[in-house]
Structure 1
């Protein structure tokens, strides 16, 4: 029976994960391994999915289920518990353990590009991915503030409407963790005052499909350095593979 791995989410046409792991299995001559996309309309369908797929060995988890999946798991890694989000599930000895490899992937991808002026970061969005990004940045000494369109959950939060030249001058690293601009997803870009960006800024978008979102396009026009999330995807995928084989 084939060992089954996969990606759990709601709409997965944008994802490169399946292609990435299928190529990996082929290169490693793992003909008895398959990687599937599991699209479910509600996290409540996860139990049925698990019952139907009797040889699941590992899952990646994407929006909108990185937080919602937690009650269905038996254990959480230290990082996943602290972050409060899971993007990798290990199936072992009939137990499901939730891990977070997003923080690792993000840290590995951005660290070579950080410069002294990137000591403070604005993280756009407050979902599961934002928590992993904040965890990674704090662990490498970067001060983090979140930008929200809903409610402030602490002193380190701004509303989008509060962003101005003074704030953007003080925060030279900006990370988009929202799905705005994703292929086949929500159009547009986060509403920040792009005119106050400069060549001192590094703007990072977790989205990798399309390769250049409107957020990155507008940032680049102001002279900012830009990065998409493809390297993060690759790094977190390799960490997931390591966990599944541990």
Structure 2
């Protein structure tokens, strides 16, 4: 029996367990299970490995995508640059970290990009933002980070004016603002400055259309949520775990 699973805390919001249970059934995959492993602290990780000797692969979610790094033997090039891991492969006694958010985000974004999407605003500065930044760099799209507080290379929401919004026609929300159950929240953007030239991408997938996306659609912007990215990153994890 091969055991796969998800570590994070808490895991009440987890998409992965249901996805893989359905995948195993649909594709007739035998002798495989996918479990949630909620660990209250990353210090519990070695104990989990001892308790689950049949682990063949893990996904990693909030708040451990960065904290997991010291426990791994090696990193993929993308994970090493981003310094965030959401997929671990166990092979030949070694634990290798990958970032499949990069794969999921890139594949789901590409069909929506237009020639004028040359500059982006990235809302939030956490681990998910790092994966988005990596993809934007790969695609040659310049970006500006946006947060509530200014920092080196980070502007505030309050500083966004009409000129800034017009120049940055791709806006990616990597923050949790608007995620269920706080569906009445949205990043504090000057939404009146949006137009049909804009593409709004929200990494959130629950609800299907966040207030951020609703406000963009109301101004004629193209909108995309994170559901397809989630599926693509999960499938990429499966490919990594089973790569001979």
What is the DSSP-based 3-state SS (H/G/I as helix, E as strand, rest coil) of the residue aligned with 1:103? Answer: helix
Which of 219, 226, 229 is the equivalent residue of 1:229?
226
| TM-score, scaled to structure 1 | 0.94
> What corresponds to 1:146 in structure 2?
145
> What corresponds to 1:80 in structure 2?
79
> What corresponds to 1:195 in structure 2?
192
> What corresponds to 1:3 in structure 2?
2
Bigger shift: residues 226-235 or 14-23: 14-23
- Provide the C-alpha distance between the structure 2 equivalents of 1:5 and 1:185, rounded to a whole number of angstroms: 30
> What corresponds to 2:33 in structure 1?
34
The answer (yes or no) to whether the contact 1:73–1:98 under 8 Å persists in 2 is: yes
- Provide the C-alpha distance between the structure 2 equivalents of 1:64 and 1:215, rounded to a whole number of angstroms: 23
1:50 aligns with 2:28: no
The answer (yes or no) to whether the contact 2:75–2:98 under 8 Å persists in 1 is: yes
Structure 1, gaps ≥5 residues long: none
Q: Classify 1:34/1:95 alpha carbon distance in 2 versus 1 (closer, same or farther; 3 Å).
A: same
> What corresponds to 1:214 in structure 2?
211
What is the DSSP-based 3-state SS (H/G/I as helix, E as strand, rest coil) of the residue aligned with 1:97? Answer: strand
Following TM superposition, by how much is the alpha carbon of 1:244 offset from its aligned partner in structure 2, in angstroms?
0.2
The runs of at least 4 consecutive aligned structure 1 residues that moved more than 3 Å come to 184-187
The answer (yes or no) to whether the contact 1:7–1:37 under 8 Å persists in 2 is: yes
Structure 2, gaps ≥5 residues long: none
| TM-score, scaled to structure 2 | 0.95
- Provide the C-alpha distance between the structure 2 equivalents of 1:217 and 1:39, rounded to a whole number of angstroms: 33
Following TM superposition, by how much is the alpha carbon of 1:33 offset from its aligned partner in structure 2, in angstroms?
0.6
The answer (yes or no) to whether the contact 1:14–1:209 under 8 Å persists in 2 is: no
Q: Classify 1:173/1:3 alpha carbon distance in 2 versus 1 (closer, same or farther; 3 Å).
A: same
Following TM superposition, by how much is the alpha carbon of 1:6 offset from its aligned partner in structure 2, in angstroms?
1.0
Q: Classify 1:119/1:11 alpha carbon distance in 2 versus 1 (closer, same or farther; 3 Å).
A: same
Count residues with an aligned counterpart.
Answer: 243
